[in-house]
Amino acid sequence: MRVLGIDPGSETLGWGVVEGTGSKYEAVDFGTVRSSTKLSFSKRLLSIHHGVSEVIEKYQPSVLSIEDSFYAKNASVAIKLGQVRGVILLLAEQKSLEIAEYAPRLIKQTVVGYGSAEKHQVGEMVKILLKLKEVPKPHDAADALAIAVCHFHHAGLSSKLAAAKK
């Protein structure tokens, strides 16, 4: 299974590709899609669409794992992140990818063991879990890898639950 993890952002969107089965996985690549704040928001969304589309074409994931919505103190920020998520979810549907959404606290709990973990803790655990030489930078890419790793830990459980319901 090849999973594309996405940490949505309107200025910097993190992505990370992880491949493996069950609890054995490794990083394939990671990076960011950056959008200039000088562009109109609709043009930034288009830039994000193009950037993530290129990642999907290059790495051919079977699953898109994305951070679920969260409550932001600033409603404007929450709305913009929702729009970015919408673009990514639409793109995943267009590419026929399986979609998995995980709450930020669950991702941190899964990767670090603590749902209120700090960004640097997530980065350090991603480095350890994926046997990387250094913490992925920027933190958006480390977060995206954490989201992909989270899917590996929860996908097996979801499959077993679905099979048990049949």
The mean-pLDDT minimum among 30-34, 113-117, 131-135 falls in 113-117
Would strands 63-67 and 98-102 be described as parallel, antiparallel, or unpaired?
parallel
pLDDT, position 78: 84
Instruction: Give the torsion sign (CA, 128, 149, 3, 16).
Output: negative
pLDDT-derived band at 158, boundaries 50, 70, 90: low
Expressed as residue numbers, the domain containing 147 is: 2-165
Residue 29 annotated to the active site: no
Residue 143 annotated to the active site: no
- Residue 158 maps to which CATH number? 3.30.420.10
Beta strands in 8-91 (DSSP E): 12-21, 24-34, 63-67
- Report the interhelical angle of 119-129 vs 104-111 (nearest 10°): 50
Question: Which two structure tokens, joined as six digits, stand for 77?
Answer: 């920020």
Total domains in the fold of the chain: 1
pLDDT-derived band at 164, boundaries 50, 70, 90: low
Would strands 24-34 and 63-67 be described as parallel, antiparallel, or unpaired?
unpaired
Choose, from 11, 19, 57, 67, the residue flagged as catalytic: 67
Residue 124 annotated to the active site: no
- Of 33-37, 54-58, 111-115, 117-121, highest mean pLDDT: 54-58
